[in-house]
Amino acid sequence: MSLMEIRNLTKSYDEGEVSTLVLRGLDFKIEKGEFVAVMGPSGSGKSTLLHILGLLERQSGGEYFFGGKQTGEYSEDEIAKVRNKKLGFIFQSFNLLPRTTVLENVKLPLLYSAVMEELWDGLARQAIEAVGLSHRVDFEPSQLSGGEKQRVAIARALVNNPEVIFADEPTGNLDSKSGEVVMEIIQKLHNEMGHTVILITHETYTAEYAERIIRLRDGMIESDTNVLNRRAGKLFQK
């Protein structure tokens, strides 16, 4: 059983009498522990796909199975629980609370979890240590560099030990050096901790950290390529 499977997935947005079809009948599976990059030009539907896979919005048509269950059968409460417990999100804009310490920012997902409050500090500190920011634990976002802010966002995504980490253009606001540091951390989470990673990116160097690249164009799958050691130049086609 695949961790995620979509069948003939469509998504459209309606404005008055105008309907815009963004995703056009996508079919693919993602296995537990995969590192998948979704690439495509602006308007190709990659962020919309992430929002559907991450249960942030529902598809218009087709089916989406998560862990073998059709997500259309989930209630809104069930979706919220799955999203909080099993999914972690890293966004380009960091989405950190200002005037709130690194520790408090990382603890935020635990507020909505079943984890006992006395464990929150320890779990948050472990996640912060995993991204190499223990020396910044009492700093506020305004005192951090862009790369450090993104590492805090990664720690926040990790704190609930999710099955899947969604990274939406995680290096988009960073210089190349900081971007490489962030991608190396994400790759380490995948290699050493076994997280399934779904990366949305338009940058080739970022996608090369993945094991598989799905390319979208005009809401359809243009190619689906398995990659081995891409950064070392070895790849094969599916």
Q: Classify residue 218: in a domain, yes or no.
A: yes
pLDDT in tens, 100-111: 999 999 999 888
| Neighbour-count burial of 14, counting CB atoms closer than 10 A to its CB (0-12 exposed, 13-18 middle, 19+ buried) | exposed
At residue 122, the 3 state secondary structure works out as helix
Report the chain's mean pLDDT, rounded to a whole number.
90
For 159-222, the DSSP string reads: TT--SEEEEESTTTTS-HHHHHHHHHHHHHHHHHH--EEEEEES-HHHHTTSSEEEEEETTEEE
Number of domains in the chain: 1
Q: Classify residue 15: in a domain, yes or no.
A: no
Q: Classify residue 231: in a domain, yes or no.
A: no
Q: Classify residue 25: in a domain, yes or no.
A: no
Once rounded to an integer, what is the mean pLDDT over residues 209-222?
Answer: 95
How far apart CA 224 and CA 84 sit, in angstroms, is 29
pLDDT in tens, 38-80: 999 888 999 999 999 999 999 999 999 999 999 988 898 889 8
Whether 237 has a pLDDT exceeding 70, the answer reads no
Q: Classify residue 155: in a domain, yes or no.
A: yes
Q: What single letter denotes the amino acid at residue 106?
A: V
Strand 69-70, strand 87-91: pairing: unpaired
Q: Classify residue 27: in a domain, yes or no.
A: no
Helix axes 146-158, 120-130, angle to 10 degrees: 130
- Looking at residue 228, what is its pLDDT? 64
Q: What is the CATH number of the domain that holds 85?
A: 3.40.50.300
Q: Classify residue 144: in a domain, yes or no.
A: yes
Whether 230 has a pLDDT exceeding 80, the answer reads no
Structural domain boundaries enclosing 49: 32-58+75-226
Q: Classify residue 151: in a domain, yes or no.
A: yes
**Do residues 10 and 24 touch, judged by C-beta distance below 8 A?**
yes
pLDDT in tens, 181-195: 999 999 988 988 889
